């Protein structure tokens, strides 16, 4: 049986390349005094606040002010930003090393639902493990808050493929969210559902 033929790869960011711990952000807000953060987060999420933030429809200041309104009096905006960023972990060095090698064989791209507050922290975390900028590894980086589109919308994947002038059928998309994988499949892309670092590293090695 012939192995699939890929002409380019599109990677997700959070959970695939950078470690994510959503509980860390909840714990950070609880430490600020927002004891019912989980409940408040659910309420705000139902109002599409975070979806709108992810596609740049509302500003970072708007979100910070909204979260500040739930925090104890005297809480600083910087503490809210730090709590919101607490979920962001590190880029495992072995993943970045393999990406550096793969980029010599395939064009690789990044497509992420990433908000305005997280972006500087992501680049900072990358800089801790690599002297090569992210922009030199990925041919193009698509962040939802910059392109005004987010996964899992089928039109997001189609738009990216059209912009890059690539064939979805020869494109491998890698993500750790089932709904994003489904959106990519509907847009005609080949997909890999990230479930373990071990299996992911095996995939990367197989591409070299």
Per residue, what are the HEC states of 70-86?
A: CCCCCCCHHHHHHHHHC
For residue 4, the model assigns a pLDDT of 62
How many CB atoms sit inside 10 A of residue 202's CB? 10
Nearest Cα neighbor of 168 from 158, 178, 176 is: 158
User: Which residue intervals of the chain bear CATH 1.10.150?
Assistant: 22-85
Question: What 8-state DSSP symbol labels residue 18?
Answer: B
pTM: 0.94
Tens digit of pLDDT per residue, the chain (208 long)?
345 689 999 999 999 999 999 999 999 999 999 988 888 888 788 788 899 999 999 999 999 999 999 899 999 999 999 999 999 999 999 999 999 999 999 999 999 999 999 999 999 999 999 999 999 999 999 999 999 999 999 999 999 999 999 999 999 999 999 999 999 999 999 999 999 999 999 999 999 9
Positions of CATH 3.40.50.1000 in the chain: 8-19+90-206
Q: DSSP 3-state helix, strand, coil percentages of the chain (rounded to 5)?
A: 50, 10, 35
SS3 116: coil
Tokens coding 149: 């589109």
Architecture of domain 22-85: Orthogonal Bundle (1.10)
What pLDDT, on the 0 to 100 scale, is given for residue 1? Answer: 38
In CATH, which of 3.30.1490.190, 3.90.230.10, 3.40.50.1000, 2.40.40.20 is domain 8-19+90-206? 3.40.50.1000
Neighbour count for residue 69 (Cβ, 10 Å): 9
Sign of the CA dihedral with 103 first, then 109, 110, and 116 last? positive
pLDDT of residue 86: 97
Q: What is the pLDDT of residue 45?
A: 80
Longest dimension (CA), the chain: 64
Q: How far, in Å, CA of 46 to CA of 105, rounded?
A: 43
């Amino acid at each position: 049986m012939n192995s699939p033929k890929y002409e380019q790869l599109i990677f997700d960011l959070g959970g695939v390349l950078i470690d994510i711990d959503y509980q860390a952000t909840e714990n950070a807000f609880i430490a600020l005094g927002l004891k019912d953060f989980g409940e408040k987060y659910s309420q705000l999420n139902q109002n599409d606040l975070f979806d709108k933030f992810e596609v740049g429809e509302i500003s970072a200041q708007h979100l910070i002010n909204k979260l500040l309104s739930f925090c104890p009096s005297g809480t600083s905006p910087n503490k809210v930003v730090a709590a919101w960023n607490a979920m962001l972990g590190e880029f495992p060095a072995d993943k970045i090393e393999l990406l550096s090698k793969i980029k010599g064989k395939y064009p690789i791209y990044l497509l992420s639902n990433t908000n305005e507050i997280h972006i500087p922290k992501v680049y900072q975390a990358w800089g801790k493990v690599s002297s090569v900028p992210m922009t030199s590894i990925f041919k193009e980086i698509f962040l939802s808050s910059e392109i005004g589109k987010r996964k899992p919308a089928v039109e997001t994947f189609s738009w990216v493929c059209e912009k890059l002038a690539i064939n979805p059928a020869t494109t491998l998309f890698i993500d750790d969210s089932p709904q994003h994988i489904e959106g990519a499949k509907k847009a005609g892309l080949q997909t890999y559902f990230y479930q373990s670092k071990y299996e992911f590293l095996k995939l990367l090695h197989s591409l070299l």
